[in-house]
C-alpha cells in the first residue's frame, strides 16, 4: 500500500499551516486538509494574537492585523458595582487584534507560495492506523506515514482513533459578536471582564479592531449545563454590561480548550503529532490569555519533528515531538502558568473574590462615622464568604 504524502496535516488554521510550512521546508511531501472553503472560514477566536511565534515563522510586514493592543483593561464586576484597572503602553507591538477569516487566508497564501498544497473543502470523517494512518475523507481515503492533527479543540482525529473523550469540565464555550460601532477608538484596547453573570464560571472580553469590535463571553461548559442562563443569551448580556452599541455584523461560537498543564491530553501517539487547540494548548495566567502563539509554536515544532521521526526510520516512534515541545516556549510557558491556571479554574475567582473586592471598596468609600482599618474590613469580608486571609494570600501567591 502506498502513501499519499509523508505528512498529512488535518486542519488549515494557524497550527496546521505552521506545521505544513515547516514540514515543507524540511523537504517532506506535505498535504493540508481544510474543511472550510478557505482557511479561517471555520475559525473563531477571541481575536488577539501575541506575535512572537509568527515572527519566527514568516515575515509579518504585510500581515493583516487589526490594531496593536496598547491598552489592557480589567473590569471586575459584581451587580451594579465595578472595579476597573487599566494599563496603557502606546509603544507596544507585542500583540494585535485579529479577525481569523482575514488572517488565516493570508497565512495560507504564504504557505502556498512556498509550495504547500492545501486541499480545501476536504472533510475528514474517520481515521484508522495501518502502518501509517489512513484518513477517511469526502474525497476518498488518504494515507500518510505521519498525520499532524491540527483540527482544533474537538480533536476529531484523536477521537476517531479512540485516543480522546471530550469532557465538559476541560472546555469553555466562547460566544462572540463582531460589532461595527458608530465611533471606533484609536487605541487598541483589550478588555477583560471577570464575574459577569452570577453562577456562571467565566468572563467576557472585547478587543478593538480597525473598524469593528470583537466582543464575547467565555463560560465553562459544566457551569452552563447546571445554571439557568442560556448560552444563546450570553453575548447580549455582555454587550449590555459593557455598554457597547452598534450594528452586529457576525455571531459565532467556539469551544476553548481549558485543560492546563496538569490535565493536558497526550500530544503524540504512533504516527500522530497533535498541535494547537487539539492538543489542549491554552494559557491563562491572570495576565494573558494565549492560544494562537502556542498553536503556531507547536505546529512549527511538529513540522520539524516529522522530519526527525522519518529520518529515524520508524514513523510510529513519535515521542521526540513531545521532547521538542518540552524544550520550547510552548511547554515551558504552560508549566509556569500551571498554578495560576488551577486558580483560574476555581469558583472563588469568579464568585467570591469579585464580591470581596467590591464590598471592601464600597465600605472604604463610604463614610458613616464608624470607620475601620482597611485590613479589618478585608478580613471581615473574607470571613463572610467562609474563606480565611491565609487562603486568599495563598491564592494570590499562585498567580505570582
The residues that touch other proteins, with contacts defined as CB under 8 A, are 35-37, 40-45, 99-102, 104, 121, 123, 125, 138, 153-154, 156, 166-168, 171, 173, 175, 177-178, 212, 214, 221, 224-225, 227-232, 234-236, 248-255
Of 100 and 307, the one with the shorter C-beta distance to other proteins is 100
User: In DSSP terms, which residues pair with 205 in a beta bridge?
Assistant: 192, 216
Considering the complex, state which of residue 84 and residue 167 has its C-beta at the smaller distance from other proteins.
167
Cβ atoms 123, 142 nearer than 8 A: no
CB of 228 to other proteins, least distance (A): 8
* Cβ at position 87, least distance to other proteins in Å: 27
- Other Cβ atoms within 10 Å of 207 Cβ, number: 26
Alpha carbons 97 and 56: distance in angstroms, whole number: 19
C-beta of 249: minimal distance to other proteins in Å? 6
Sign of CA dihedral 88, 94, 100, 103: positive
Of residues 36 and 276, the one with the C-beta less far from other proteins: 36
Nearer to other proteins, 45 or 392 (CB): 45
Name the grid cell of 245.
452599541
Helix, strand, or coil here: 381? helix
Backbone angles phi, psi at 309, to 5 degrees: -65, -45
CB-nearer residue toward other proteins: 77 or 209: 209
CB of 206 to other proteins, least distance (A): 14
> Which residue, 24 or 43, has its beta carbon nearer to other proteins?
43
Tell me how far apart the alpha carbons of residues 117 and 111 are, in angstroms, rounded to a whole number. Answer: 8
Closer residue to other proteins in complex, CB, 156/299: 156
Q: How far is the CB of 100 from other proteins (least distance, A)?
A: 4
Please measure the distance between the N-terminal and C-terminal CA atoms of the chain and give it in whole angstroms. Answer: 55
- Smallest distance, Å, CB 202 to other proteins? 13
User: Residues 265, 275: contact at Cβ < 8 Å?
Assistant: no
Minimum distance, C-beta of residue 125 to other proteins, in the bound complex (Å): 6
CB 243 within 8 A of CB 278: no
Q: How far is CA 272 from the centre of its chain?
A: 22
Q: Minimum distance between the CB of residue 48 and other proteins, rounded to whole angstroms?
A: 13
Q: Which residue has the cell 484523536?
A: 158
Q: Residue 326: which residues within 8 A CB-CB, separation 6 or more? A: 332
Three-point CA angle 40, 9, 256, nearest 5°: 50
Among the listed residues 46, 47, 56, 60, the one whose alpha carbon sits nearest the alpha carbon of residue 106: 60
* 184 vs 364 by CB, closer to other proteins: 184
Q: 11: which 3 cell numbers?
A: 486542519
Nearer to other proteins, 114 or 141 (CB): 141
Q: Cα 23 from chain centroid?
A: 24
CB of 57 to other proteins, least distance (A): 20
φ/ψ bin of 250: left (φ > 0), alpha (ψ from -120 to 50), beta (otherwise): beta
Amino acid at each position: 500500500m502506498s502513501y499519499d504524502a509523508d505528512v498529512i496535516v488535518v486542519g488549515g488554521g494557524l497550527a496546521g499551516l505552521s506545521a505544513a510550512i515547516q514540514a515543507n521546508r524540511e523537504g517532506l511531501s506535505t498535504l493540508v486538509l481544510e474543511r472550510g472553503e478557505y482557511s479561517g472560514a471555520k475559525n473563531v477566536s477571541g481575536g488577539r494574537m501575541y506575535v512572537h511565534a509568527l515572527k519566527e515563522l514568516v515575515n509579518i510586514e504585510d500581515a493583516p492585523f487589526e490594531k496593536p493592543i496598547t491598552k489592557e483593561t480589567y473590569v471586575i464586576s459584581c451587580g451594579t458595582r465595578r472595579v476597573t484597572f487599566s494599563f496603557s503602553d502606546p509603544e507596544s507591538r507585542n500583540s494585535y487584534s485579529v479577525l481569523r477569516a482575514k488572517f488565516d487566508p493570508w497565512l495560507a497564501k504564504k504557505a502556498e507560495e512556498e509550495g504547500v498544497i492545501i486541499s480545501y473543502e476536504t472533510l475528514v470523517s474517520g481515521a484508522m492506523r495501518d502502518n501509517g494512518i489512513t484518513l477517511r475523507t469526502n474525497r476518498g481515503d488518504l494515507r500518510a506515514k505521519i498525520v499532524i492533527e491540527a483540527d482544533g479543540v474537538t480533536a476529531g482525529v484523536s477521537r476517531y482513533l479512540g485516543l480522546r473523550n471530550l469532557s465538559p469540565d476541560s472546555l469553555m464555550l466562547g460566544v462572540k459578536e463582531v460589532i461595527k460601532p458608530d465611533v471606533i477608538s484609536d487605541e487598541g484596547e483589550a478588555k477583560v471582564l471577570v464575574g459577569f453573570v452570577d453562577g456562571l464560571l467565566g468572563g467576557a472580553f472585547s478587543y478593538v479592531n480597525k473598524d469593528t469590535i470583537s466582543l464575547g463571553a467565555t463560560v465553562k461548559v459544566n457551569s452552563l449545563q447546571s445554571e439557568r442562563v442560556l448560552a444563546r443569551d450570553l453575548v447580549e448580556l455582555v454587550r449590555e454590561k459593557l455598554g457597547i452599541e452598534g450594528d452586529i455584523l457576525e455571531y459565532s461560537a467556539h469551544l476553548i480548550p481549558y485543560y492546563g498543564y496538569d490535565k493536558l491530553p497526550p500530544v503524540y501517539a504512533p504516527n500522530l503529532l497533535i498541535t494547537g487547540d487539539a492538543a489542549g494548548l491554552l494559557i491563562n495566567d491572570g495576565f494573558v490569555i494565549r492560544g494562537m502563539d502556542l498553536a503556531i509554536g507547536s505546529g512549527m515544532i511538529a513540522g520539524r519533528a516529522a522530519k526527525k521521526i522519518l529520518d529515524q526510520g520508524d514513523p510510529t516512534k513519535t515521542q521526540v515531538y513531545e521532547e521538542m515541545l518540552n524544550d520550547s516556549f510552548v511547554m515551558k510557558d504552560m508549566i509556569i502558568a500551571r498554578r495560576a491556571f488551577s486558580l483560574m479554574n476555581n469558583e472563588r475567582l469568579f464568585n467570591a473574590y469579585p464580591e470581596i473586592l467590591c464590598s471592601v471598596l464600597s465600605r472604604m468609600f463610604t463614610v458613616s462615622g464608624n470607620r475601620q482599618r482597611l485590613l479589618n474590613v478585608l478580613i471581615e469580608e473574607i470571613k463572610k464568604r467562609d474563606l480565611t486571609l491565609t487562603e486568599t494570600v495563598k491564592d494570590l501567591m499562585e498567580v505570582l
